[in-house]
Amino acid sequence: MNLSASPDLKEKGKWNILQRWNNWFSKDQRHYAPYIFISPFYILFLIFGLFPIIFSLYLSFHSWRAVGGLSTMEWVGLKNYKFLIADQWFWQSLWNTFILLIISGLPQHIIALPLAFILNSRLPRQLKQFLSSSYFFPYITSTVAIALIFSTIFGFHYGILNQLLDFLANSSFTKWAFGWLNVSLPINWLGRAIYIKPAVAIVVIWHWFGWNTILYLSGLQVISEELYEAARVDGAIFDEPFILTGGTGGVGRAGMTVAIYLYRTAFNWTQMGVAAAMSWLLFLIIIIFTLINYTVLRKGVLERRGE
């Protein structure tokens, strides 16, 4: 009899293989399975997170125009950093970013905190829900849509704001207070450097005050910090000034933030090395301010604890 051809032996062999595989998996699955399940995150992070960071640092020491391919990359050492330190546009963009941070950041909280107290007061539940949704609506509205709407508001000849000011300046009821505006109307809100920063700040404030209101309200209601620890503040200020000024920073580069200058350097002028160096200088500045903020806040916490 040919035992190798026996159906019973074949089935038994298959069963033994399956049993050995099952025993191995049962033994080691608790050890390996968690790593297998979380591996997609780490793979994606390595490809789209860690690699771009390392490559940008490497790129900051090279001169490279992406259209020429990787073969055109040339080592220049610290030349890109020296160029930025001596670049007037870079320092102006830093100054613009700082000014916009102040004039658009502080008013957000000045407006948001009282609104949060109002929402946390003894208002009817339906009214609270309506007001919360109304305040939060600008945050979930597309930035492009917001910027386009405010472009219409700040329009030169037929903008809503200029039309309103013209009405107030010529109305018999309000002329006594606004008549002096006739001399300067219509105002070119987006065409004069002096008005660009306030215009951008108004858009940023309107976009973000609702988000800050909800954050303050969450704190007042003693909601666990874990529910909103992923909150972020749009410190880069890119979308609003980019769209309002047509991506150029406006007249005299009054609305050019570091984010816009970095974008133009990389994609308009294809100076990838300089743009990478700029990103790392900006990162260094953020680290410095973060350490200062941490030191000040930590000192205050320790004083309150009496340590």
Q: Domain map of the chain by residue range?
A: 7-59, 87-154+189-305
- The chain-wide mean pLDDT, for the chain, equals 80
Query: 96: how many CB neighbours lie within 10 A of its CB?
Result: 25
Give the dihedral sign, CA 232/233/237/243: positive
Residue 234 pLDDT: 40
Give the model confidence (pLDDT) of 180-214 as tens digits: 887 788 888 888 888 888 888 898 899 888 888 98
Q: Please, what is the angle between helix 193-220 and helix 88-119, to 10°?
A: 40
Q: Is the pLDDT of residue 300 over 80?
A: no
Q: What global pTM score does this model have?
A: 0.68
Q: Which CATH class is domain 87-154+189-305?
A: mainly alpha
| Per-residue pLDDT band at 19 (split at 50, 70, 90) | low
In whole angstroms, give the CA distance from residue 52 to residue 280: 12
Amino acid (1-letter code) at residue 168: L
Residue 222 pLDDT: 61
Give the dihedral sign, CA 127/129/135/141: negative
In whole angstroms, give the CA distance from residue 143 to residue 239: 7
H or E element that contains 304: helix 272-305
Residue 305 pLDDT: 63
Q: 74 - beta bridge partners?
A: 63
Q: What are phi and psi of 109, to 5 degrees?
A: -80, -35
The answer to whether the CB of 125 falls within 8 A of the CB of 293 is no
Extract the tokens encoding 302: 């320790």
Q: Is the pLDDT of residue 284 over 70?
A: yes
Residue 14 pLDDT: 56
Query: 111: how many CB neighbours lie within 10 A of its CB?
Result: 18
| Per-residue pLDDT band at 32 (split at 50, 70, 90) | confident
Residue 256 pLDDT: 81
Extract the tokens encoding 145: 């849509």
Query: 99: how many CB neighbours lie within 10 A of its CB?
Result: 15
Residue 10 pLDDT: 52
Secondary structure letter of residue 157 according to DSSP: S
